[in-house]
């Protein structure tokens, strides 16, 4: 091939690259081109996740210049909504409000998922952390964590704990407690958090682990006794409440969280635009106050840190699930 022909090919290649870059820039400038759908894989009004998503939506819309519509697609522990987003067009117009249960726990419980949380969805930003509180029936003759552990050790298999369902974070929280504290408690699963709280208050079960929003009102009224926060750091929502880590269970760290995801292969310009807009939304004093009021900690970070968090949590929960012998179809 002659020098002139080779030069022409190089020139054409350069032009093609330039055109591709210009096209990408044009698409980035136009994004989003239509209303954005934020899929919440839980029932409307049923959780702090839905409440937060509905607070985020209009504020995010103001930054994006397009409406953001919340779409509740509940069922199968959140997997129906997550699968819907995973199989949606990867153009940044369909978002998922995902949780730790879907990404760090679910893959170890459900072996026949029709999608892969890891491969079919990509992280945009973590928007909140939900600390849990370990509570017990107020009539138990113990005042703190170490007294409860000693009380349980003296009665192996005689005390029970409630959960909102097999394999959920409230269940796994106490499975971790059992392992780390060396105690034997009987698991009593319920269909949801409300009956689990009611029976712990009534004494049918003796312990429960759930988010601050679900437990603190009953602690404040004296119906339940709090033994500690399950995160490594104290929560702004309960600053005087010590952590389990502080009280001797070193490294005990259980929480849930909320984050925004998009289908895999969503263009980088869309992910970057969403991340920047969410950072602005979540960084306001009003939003931080709302999070604390809802029993959440105002924590925000981006795709790389969120992916690292999921990997760490996934490895830890895999061990807990295997040790407890938990399996779901």
Write the pLDDT tens digit of every residue in 78-101.
Answer: 999 999 999 999 999 999 999 999
Q: Single out the residue of 46, 39, 52, 137 nearest to residue 88, CA to CA.
A: 39
Report which of 2, 12, 64 is spatially closest to residue 281, judged by C-alpha positions.
64
Query: Is residue 19 over pLDDT 50?
Result: no
Asked which of 44-48, 138-142, 282-286 is least confident by mean pLDDT, the reply is: 44-48
Q: Where along the chain do its domains lie? A: 34-130+255-324, 131-229
Q: Which CATH number fits domain 34-130+255-324: 1.20.58.710, 3.30.565.10, 3.40.50.300, 3.40.190.150?
A: 3.40.190.150
Confidence band of 13 (pLDDT split at 50, 70, 90): low
Helical pair 268-282 and 285-293, crossing angle rounded to 10 deg: 80
CB 326 within 8 A of CB 157: no
131-229: CATH superfamily: Periplasmic binding protein-like II (3.40.190.10)
The answer on pLDDT for 166 being more than 90 is yes
Model confidence band, residue 327 (pLDDT cutoffs 50, 70, 90): confident
pLDDT of residue 9: 53
Asked whether the domain spanning 131-229 has the same topology as the one spanning 34-130+255-324, the reply is yes
């Amino acid at each position: 091939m002659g020098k002139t022909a080779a030069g022409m090919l190089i020139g054409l290649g350069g032009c093609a690259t330039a055109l591709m870059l210009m096209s990408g820039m044009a698409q980035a400038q136009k994004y989003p081109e239509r209303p954005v759908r934020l899929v919440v894989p839980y029932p409307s009004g049923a959780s702090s996740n839905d409440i937060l998503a509905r607070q985020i939506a209009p504020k995010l819309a103001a930054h994006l210049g397009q409406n953001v519509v919340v779409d509740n697609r509940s069922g199968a522990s959140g997997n129906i909504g997550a699968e819907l987003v995973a199989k949606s067009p990867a153009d940044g117009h369909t978002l998922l409000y995902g949780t730790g249960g879907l990404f760090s726990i679910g893959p170890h419980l459900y072996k026949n998922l029709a999608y892969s949380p890891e491969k079919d969805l990509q992280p945009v930003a973590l928007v909140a952390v939900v600390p849990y509180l370990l509570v017990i029936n107020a009539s138990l003759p113990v005042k703190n964590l170490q007294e409860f552990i000693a009380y349980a050790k003296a009665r192996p298999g005689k005390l029970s704990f409630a959960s909102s369902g097999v394999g959920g974070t409230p269940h796994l929280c106490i499975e971790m407690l059992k392992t780390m504290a060396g105690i034997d408690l009987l698991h009593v699963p319920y269909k949801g958090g409300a009956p689990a709280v009611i029976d712990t208050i009534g004494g049918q079960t003796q312990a429960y682990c759930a988010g601050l929003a679900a437990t603190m009102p009953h602690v404040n009224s004296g119906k339940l006794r709090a033994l500690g926060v399950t995160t490594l750091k104290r929560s702004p929502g309960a600053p005087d409440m010590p952590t389990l880590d502080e009280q001797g269970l070193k490294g005990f760290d259980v929480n849930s969280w909320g984050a925004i995801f998009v289908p895999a292969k969503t263009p980088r310009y869309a992910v970057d635009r969403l991340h920047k807009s969410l950072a602005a939304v979540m960084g306001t004093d009003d939003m931080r106050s709302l999070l604390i009021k809802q029993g959440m900690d105002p924590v925000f970070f981006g795709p790389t840190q969120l992916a690292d968090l999921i990997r760490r949590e996934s490895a830890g929960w895999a061990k807990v699930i295997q040790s407890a012998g938990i399996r779901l179809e």
